[in-house]
Amino acid sequence: MEIESYFSANYPEARARFLRLCEARNFAVRSYRNDRAQAPDGSALYMDVATTGPSDASRLLVLFSGTHGVEGYCGSGIQAALVGESCFDDTPTDLQVALVHAVNPYGFAHNRRVNEDNIDLNRNFIEFGGEVPSDNGYGDIHAYLVPDQWEGEPRTQADMGLAQYAKDNGAAALQHAASGGQYTHSDGVFYGGTAPSWSTETVLTVVGDLAASAKEAFFIDFHTGLGPYGHGEMIAAGYKPQVGRTFEFYEGYEVTDPDAGTSSSAPVQGTMAHGVERILPDVATHFLALEYGTLPMKEVLTAVRADNWVYLSGALDSELGEQIKREVRDAFYCDEAKWKAMVYERALDVVSSTMRKIDL
């Protein structure tokens, strides 16, 4: 099949295609309904987990899509293509492979990066109950990121405020303050929440069950929105020991580290990588975020801000609201054959190499 045909136009289509392909390849599938949210048409939303290989394997490989909702267009297409193209037919002995489809089904269905509670799931895997992490300066720019109006003078002033912050502190400082994760402004962007979300709890339960017999676990989470067009940056995520293991395992590949300043991503707290490491203390975990570029960073951040504004203060059914929703989708998914081929080929290389290295 043409690779483009594995990518879908919406969440229901993506889910149906994924399940159909997994059934045809004899994957076992378990589905988890999100009882806290619904699709735009009121239908149910699911995180689906497809597995192949022995459940008592000592090695585990997990591929995630849709952690950031709308980014699921890319991740789901990759998962579907990997299954449809028989990429797991020769899975190494003593390896269980799991594909977690639509970690954030609400965001996927609604074309949002966040979940039903405005939470950025990849900032939500912290240990709640104690002192919240630093906001990295987010409070200084919150009013600029979330203006009262999206058009006219308020928007102009907000954009000028962000530009001045970058001028005074540097572009990297602006990116870190905006996107590193914050836990104080529930109406803001890159908000980490005050408690584990449904998706966070479900993912950790799923991973814990999958890794019951594992001694080593390898995770690849598909993301979009940073870096050059169609390029899949291999970002080592998590705690320092976890990052070190990931670098060692992928020796020979260009792996980046946000904490070392070598990545297109700012340092991020509360990622899924941190969560799986905490619940698997006796498992050697390795975690990659495979990050694909779409549009320039400024346009992507603008789309995130616009989406936040329209759900806070705008009207989704207005001309501006509909325009914003199109722009959000475009910021995280390039609906072009060339881009889809690029992201799949990169994923195929990384996933296949991972399985080969595991089998050495």
**CATH classification of the domain holding 53:** 3.40.630
3-state secondary structure 203-220: HHHHHHHHCCCCCEEEEE
Rg value, the chain, Cα? 19
Q: What is the pLDDT of residue 110?
A: 98
Residue 31 bridge partners (DSSP): 48
d(CA 225, CA 333): 8
Q: How far apart are the first and last CA of the chain?
A: 31
**Is the residue at 280 inside a domain?**
yes
Residue 342 is part of which domain span?
3-130+194-300+326-358
**Is the residue at 231 inside a domain?**
yes
Give the predicted TM-score (pTM) of the model: 0.98
d(CA 272, CA 200): 8
What pairing do the DSSP bridges indicate for beta strands 255-256 and 95-101? Answer: unpaired
CA distances from 173 to 56, 79, 87, 160, 164 (A): 45, 34, 41, 16, 12
* Amino acid at position 267, single letter: P
**Is the residue at 311 inside a domain?**
no
Q: What is the pLDDT of residue 131?
A: 87
d(CA 273, CA 310): 30
**Is the residue at 312 inside a domain?**
no
d(CA 169, CA 161): 12
Compute the half-sphere exposure of residue 68: CA atoms within 13 Å on the CB side of its CA.
27
The mean pLDDT values, 10 residues at a time, for the chain of 360 residues are 95 98 98 98 98 97 98 98 96 96 98 98 95 91 97 96 97 96 97 98 98 98 98 98 98 97 96 98 98 97 98 96 98 98 98 93
d(CA 18, CA 40): 20
Q: What is the pLDDT of residue 359?
A: 86
Q: What is the pLDDT of residue 39?
A: 98
Q: What is the pLDDT of residue 127?
A: 94
**Is the residue at 183 inside a domain?**
no
d(CA 107, CA 198): 13
Token pair belonging to 110? 């609604």
The pLDDT tens digits for 135-177 are 889 999 999 999 999 999 999 999 999 999 999 999 999 999 9
Number of domains in the chain: 1
Let me know: does 237 contact 342? Beta carbons within 8 Å. no
d(CA 77, CA 73): 6
**Is the residue at 237 inside a domain?**
yes
Helix (H) / strand (E) element for 255: namely strand 255-256
The pLDDT tens digits for 290-339 are 999 999 999 999 999 999 999 999 999 999 999 999 999 999 999 999 99
**Is the residue at 70 inside a domain?**
yes
Q: What is the pLDDT of residue 232?
A: 98
- Three-class secondary structure of residue 149 per DSSP: coil
**Is the residue at 152 inside a domain?**
no
